[in-house]
Chains A and B, each alone.
Chain A
Amino acid sequence: MLSLRSDPKLFELAQRVEFFAREKFNMTLPEMRFFILDPMEFAALLEKNVYPTSPINIWEGKKIANKKHRIETGQESALYYEVVQTGNPSYAYLNETNSALTQASVMAHVAGHCEFSELNVLHDSDFDRTEYVMHLVRKANLGRQQMGERRYIDYWNACESALPFIAPNSQYNLENSIDKETSMVASAVESHDVVEPGEEPISLVDVTLNALLKTDTAKPFVEMEKKRDLHEAMSRRGYSLRAPCQDILGFLRQYAPTSQAEHAVLDYLYTAHMHQDFVIRTQIMNEGWAMYWEKKIMMELFAEDSVRGAIDYAKVFSGVCYPRPYFQRNPYHLGYHMWLHIEDLYREGRMSLDYHEETDLDTKKEWKKPEEELNPQECMRHLVKTITDYEFLRRFLTPELVEKFHLNRLDQRTAQQLGIKNEDVIRADRQWVWLHPEPIKNEMLGFFAHYYRPRIYIIDTNFMDGGLLLMHRDDGRNLRADWIRPTLNNLNRIWKAPVYLLSKDKLYAARANGYKESTVKGITFEEAAERLSQQQQPFKAA
């Protein structure tokens, strides 16, 4: 791993990229640190979740061994484009085998990602993220020595089962699902503080009469009584569930009884993986934003002749932005063209109230009334600050854009493989099939409900005396049966008490004395959530 300063030309190029990003385009950027890696370092970095170090583990070993085999046998190219770990500072890695042109485009692209992470409503740009994870790696390695090899491997493997259940940005994250003693106290103090005395009545007679006339609407003691009741209802561990919790690993990290070494492992795994939730929720906007600014900055670099090869760049750019059908989601293509479209909307004044209130369709069609005081790029930044992919698509993706971006276009072979019905096809030629654009938006939005993963929630932390009850939110599909038992056993290992899973009308139980499946009368997710909000037990086994 080399510092960018080891290559003066590249260093100068980085300076130019940063100049245009900060000065010319007013981008809000954290400190960006670039490093140069060889291809195998790049491969290793990707397996370490884009951190330079990671605790020893078998899964990373498996992936890197597989990757090496694939690179050696020519099944996979060792060329990687760009990798960045956002945060403040952000760490971006360049592949030493890339040309200066590619390096420049990578740096410009990274600037886009960094700004997006910094501005976005989910704000994925914490201070010293990489350094903190490296600190956690050291703690986990120390934990390995404390635990011993065998126990460390077993515990790590158990945690791997819970890795898909990280949801820090979910509606049902820890913050929204768990009441803690500390948060209760804080809110009690807060509510006490904000009790306003109300407007003093005009002194009519004297102070005594005033006191009698004064209406005592605010009754802080009543609120306090309620809070106290809630405190008493809390479990001995100092927390209680007020809503289903989807951030299962986050919950286990905070509340599972762990040794210091075990906690170090949990801490590392959660922290290193939690940012994937941000990526999945903002991928289209994020990649589109990065492509948008990459192109802007590259045009500047070409104009001042800092880099050459505009034609080559155009080829690469169009390759990256190649349209794919909606279910294959090419976020570069979709995001980039969506941002261009939005820029046009602002530029032509089509986001104004006047435009929306205009009833004449012809006028609307020809509408071009730019609002002078409005800067389209600042408006786009406002969008970045306020929404994620779901709202981005819901608000801006129209059936016309679905057609324009070829989201409804499949090649004939894929259409046959998927068994596309004739009634879903609007036209076809020898190579392509076009689907009805109308339902595609909803299909795409559906992704954000489940991300193609079953939705699992904690709905009781004291089920049948200390057990952790998980619930599979029924969406008509079954869970992979042969993995339920080992997964629950692994969670049981972390929770150190029985773990149950309620899926449809089945209750699966992993306890110290064995594994059991039983048929029960299932409940819906909404019922469970409702009961939790009323401080009731969400599910009772017969």
Chain B
Amino acid sequence: MDVDRISSDESEGFFNDFIEEQLNDLVEDIINEGDLDRTDASGSDLIVEVDDIEPPTLVYGDQGGGAGAGQGGGEPGDEKGKLKFEVPFDRFMELVADKLRLPNLLKEGKGKIKEVSYEFKTFGPVGVLLDKKRTFKRALRSSISTGVYCPKEGRFDVEVRRKDRRYKVPQRVETPKYKAVVFYMGDISYSTFGERLELEKRLLNFTHHWLDFNYGKNNVEHRFFVHDVEAYEVTPEQFYQVSNIGGTRASLVFDLVSNIAFNEYDPATTNFYGFYVGDGELFGNDAKEIVEILKEQLHPMFNRLALVEIQPSRMSCLNTEVSKAFGSDRVVRTCALKNKSEIIKVIKRMFEARHA
């Protein structure tokens, strides 16, 4: 039999191509409906569930047919009618980028920050780490040539001379390091629960994963801020839990973020991102003050600033004021998210290269 190895790899590849096509169609559904609400999901595989495929044929309609039909039902072990498969998180994000046509985020700081590591790929006659394998090979070769090692004559010694020694030589490798900090700002003065909270979570979690994917998980710092009539920093868990009833002043949180960005980070080597979510209902000069802060403090420094009104009402005025001042700006984006089906649209608007 002229077969070296029995394998179904080719057929599996065929099936994987099919799944890839399915996955492309599923990207929007996963973002809208999928269970992506854990911010620590990046890095792990996603379990994607799709309807099982089976070749149709003529079978009984009353599935099973009593005690005798022991062989019915889908594949051994799979959930009936469903097909589960794992997708690496990065692969999923690539598909998202491809499907939503999202650009790679601008990685400023290239060349400024270097990540230094050492690789032992070369070898030399001097050093600290002896490469025993290479040394022995050289010693054996020279012992044979000098006749020290000659099995025919019963000599089995191997002489290791100084010049036979080979050491691993470290080589300095510098790779550019990208660093980013993301500020999430939320309005807790309005009733953030139910659908509103879910919309907010989905949007910000996707943002979280997307930036992690673009910069690498360890190179992004995520910071969460909330405001009512005061602004303060909270943990990611608190961000979705705290709420308050009463007045609101959003400009305070922009001011706080601006101060932190200036004082705690080096603007020359850091990429800044800011995302604000709220109902957009502001009072007095609050919106105008925000526009001022955006113009004078944040806009010159930030890569992207997005202000999203979640289920806005007729009283919402933040986006109106900001749009007046920035129009189609490279950095500042304003969006309104009314329901789940608009999440994809909002994501595109937040991250697309040019504001339409």
Q: Please give the residue numbers on chain A whose beta carbons come within 8 Å of chain B beta carbons, in ascending order.
A: 1, 33, 35, 37, 40-41, 43-45, 47-48, 52-54, 56-66, 68-70, 75-76, 91, 130-131, 134, 157, 160-165, 327-329, 418, 443, 446-447, 452-454, 456, 472, 477-481, 483-484, 486-487, 490, 501
A to B CB contacts below 8 Å, 20 in the list: A47-B8, A48-B6, A48-B8, A52-B3, A58-B15, A60-B8, A61-B16, A65-B16, A66-B76, A68-B12, A160-B57, A161-B56, A327-B68, A418-B66, A454-B60, A477-B65, A480-B59, A480-B63, A490-B56, A501-B58
**A496 CB to closest chain B CB, in angstroms?**
19
Q: How far is the CA of A40 from the CA of B12 in the complex (A)?
A: 13
Chain B, 59-88, contact with A by CB distance < 8 Å: what is the 0/1 string? Answer: 111110111111110011110000111100
Known: A454-B60, A479-B58, A490-B56. A328 touches B70 (CB 8 A): yes
User: Quick one: given A1-B6, A52-B1, A452-B68, are A478 and B59 in contact (CB under 8 Å)?
Assistant: no
Interface residue from B11, B53, B58, B86 paired with A56 (Cβ < 8 Å)? B11
Given contacts A47-B8, A57-B14, contact A483 B3 (CB under 8 A): no
Closest to A324 in B: B70
- Residues of chain B lying within 8 A (CB to CB) of residue A75: 77
Q: In the assembled complex, which residues on chain A have CB atoms less than 8 Å from the CB atom of B15?
A: 58, 60-62, 64-65
Q: Which A residues lie within 8 Å of B68 (CB)?
A: 327, 443, 446-447, 452
Q: Is the interface of A mostly helix, strand, loop or mixed?
A: helix
B7 on the A face (CB < 8 A) = yes
Number of residue pairs across A and B with beta carbons under 8 Å? Answer: 150
A161 and B57 alpha carbons, distance in the complex (Å): 5
Q: With A63-B75, A66-B77 given, is the CB distance from A54 to B11 under 8 Å? A: yes
User: Contact check: which of A70, A472, A477 meets B76 at CB < 8 Å?
Assistant: A70
- A453 near B78 with CB under 8 A, answer no
Which chain A residues lie closer than 8 Å to B51 at the CB level?
none
Contact residues in A for B72 (Cβ distance below 8 Å): 452
If A41-B5, A452-B72 are given as contacts, then 7 extra A-B residue pairs at C-beta distance below 8 Å, sorted by A number, are: A1-B3, A41-B7, A52-B3, A61-B16, A327-B68, A452-B60, A479-B58
Question: In the complex, A164 Cα to B58 Cα: how many Å?
Answer: 8
Question: B70 touching A58 by the CB < 8 A rule?
Answer: no
* B10 interface residue (CB < 8 Å to A): yes
A40–B126 Cα distance when bound, in Å, is 47
Q: A66 near B58 (CB under 8 angstroms)?
A: no
Are A44 and B58 in touch, CB under 8 angstroms? no
> A64 to B11, Cβ gap below 8 A?
yes
Beyond A53-B3, A478-B60, A483-B56, whether A69 also contacts B84 by CB under 8 A is: yes
Give which listed residue, A33, A66, A329, A484, contacts B75 with CB less than 8 A. A66
Q: Pick the contact of B18: A58, A60, A134 (CB < 8 A).
A: A58
- How far, in whole Å, are A1 and B6 apart by their CA atoms in the complex? 7
Chain A residue contacts of B5, Cβ below 8 A: 1, 41
Cβ-defined contact, A163 with B57, below 8 A: yes
Q: Which of A43, A328, A480 counts the most chain B CB atoms within 10 A?
A: A480
Closest to B78 in A: A66
Q: Mark B6-27, 1 if CB is under 8 A from A, else 0.
A: 1110111111101000000000
* Given A61-B12, A63-B75, A69-B84, also A472-B62 (CB < 8 A): no
What is the size, in residues, of chain B's interface with A at 8 Å between Cβ atoms?
A: 41
Given contacts A41-B6, A328-B70, A452-B69, contact A164 B57 (CB under 8 A): yes
Contacts of A35 in B (CB 8 A): 1
Find out whether the CB atom of A69 lies under 8 angstroms from the CB atom of B58.
Answer: no
Bound CA–CA A481/B84 (angstroms): 26
Which residues from A are CB-within-8-Å of B77? 66, 70, 75-76
- List the 3 shortest-distance A-B pairs measured between CB atoms, nearest first: A61-B15, A160-B55, A61-B11
Q: Which of A45, A160, A162, A164 contacts B6 (CB 8 A)?
A: A45
**Min C-beta distance of A499 to chain B, whole Å:** 12
- Chain B residues positioned under 8 Å from A454 (CB to CB): 58-60
Q: Which B residues lie within 8 Å of A61 (CB)? A: 8, 11-16, 18
Q: How far is the CB of B10 from chain A (nearest CB, A)?
A: 5
- Contacting residues, chain A, for B18 (C-beta < 8 A): 58, 61
The docked-state distance in angstroms from the alpha carbon of A63 to that of B61 is 24
Complex CA gap A503/B5 in Å reads 46
B119 interface residue, CB < 8 Å from A?
no
Q: In whole Å, how far is A310's beta carbon from the nearest beta carbon of chain B?
A: 32
Judging by beta carbons under 8 Å apart, are B60 and A58 in contact? no
A48 CB to closest chain B CB, in angstroms? 7
Closest Cβ–Cβ distance, residue A52 to chain B (whole Å): 4
Q: Is B153 an interface residue (CB 8 A)?
A: no
What residues of chain A lie closer than 8 Å to B76, measured between beta carbons? 66, 70, 76
- Contact between chains at B57 and A487 (CB < 8 Å): yes
Are A483 and B8 interface neighbours, CB within 8 A?
A: no
Return B66 CB to nearest CB of chain A, in Å: 8
* A56 pairs with B61, CB closer than 8 A: no
Q: Which of B6, B56, B59 contacts A453 (CB 8 A)?
A: B59
B247 CB → nearest A CB, Å: 53
Select one of A59, A477, A490 contacting B60, CB under 8 A: A477
